[in-house]
């Protein structure tokens, strides 16, 4: 089973691209969605202990957690130390179940793939990218987003140019959705061809 690592900086269109893989029948494990679920489940108690005041009605209040992290950005590592092992456990369960189901490939949608050293957990890396101005406009159009928040998020992410250099494949989302869909379909076809030819070995 080929494990594709899908990543890209904020505003590049990664979630849309992940949906395109899913539409083509490739199972997708969305790390962000897993985190959202964990904030209602296993992560509630340990985060509440580390960040007092973040539990509201039994779940993690993401706005309050974000507020505290904005005041003390160095505590992101503390949060990650709590959340990442839980995310990994969910990821392993996803991979195990898809292998048992006989899937030929899956996608791990991981926003901070490079930043967290996740390259070793995947066989091929797809980076979703777009023109910097397009990225800026998309992000600033989000409700509640400000230049300051955008800057804080970008500070935690590897520059897009560096991600592009480390990618096996690129999906460029600033050329229209039809073009992006063709790129996704081409990636799937290429990987299946490599696998059939016996060239889909792990890195």
Residues 200 and 123 in one domain: yes
Predicted confidence (pLDDT) per residue in 31-41, tens digit: 999 999 999 99
Model confidence at 21, pLDDT cuts 50, 70, 90, reads: very high
Q: DSSP letter string over 81-114?
A: HHHHHHHHHHHHHHHHHHHHTT-SEEEEE-TTTT
Residues in Cβ contact with 154 at an 8 Å cutoff, skipping those fewer than 6 apart: 9, 10
Do 19 and 43 fall within a single domain?
no
Give the pLDDT band (50/70/90) at residue 59: very high
Q: pTM value?
A: 0.88
Considering the domain architecture, whether residues 94 and 113 belong to the same structural domain is answered as: no
Predicted local distance difference test score (pLDDT) of residue 199: 56
pLDDT reported for residue 56: 96
Residues 67 and 4 in one domain: no
User: Of 50, 74, 102, which marks where a domain is finished?
Assistant: 102
Q: What's the average model confidence in pLDDT over 95-114?
A: 96
Query: Which structural domain range is residue 36 located in?
Result: 32-102
Residues 14, 112: one domain? yes
């Amino acid at each position: 089973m080929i494990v594709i690592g899908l990543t890209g900086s904020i505003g590049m269109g990664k979630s849309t691209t992940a949906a395109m893989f899913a539409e083509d029948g490739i199972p997708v494990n969305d790390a962000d969605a897993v985190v959202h679920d964990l904030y209602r489940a296993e992560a509630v108690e340990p985060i509440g202990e580390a960040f007092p005041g973040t539990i509201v009605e039994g779940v993690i209040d993401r706005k309050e957690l974000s507020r505290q992290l904005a005041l003390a950005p160095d505590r992101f590592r503390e949060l990650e130390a709590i959340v990442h092992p839980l995310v990994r456990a969910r990821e392993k369960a996803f991979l195990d179940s898809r292998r048992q189901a006989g899937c030929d490939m899956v996608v791990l949608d991981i926003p901070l793939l490079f930043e967290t050293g996740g390259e070793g957990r995947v066989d091929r890396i797809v980076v979703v990218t777009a023109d910097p101005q397009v990225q800026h406009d998309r992000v600033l159009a989000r409700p509640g987003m400000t230049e300051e928040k955008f800057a804080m998020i970008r500070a935690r992410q590897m520059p897009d140019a560096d991600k592009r250099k480390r990618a096996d494949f690129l999906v460029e989302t600033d050329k229209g959705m039809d073009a992006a869909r063709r790129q996704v379909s081409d990636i799937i076809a290429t990987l299946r061809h490599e696998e059939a030819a016996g060239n889909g070995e792990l890195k």
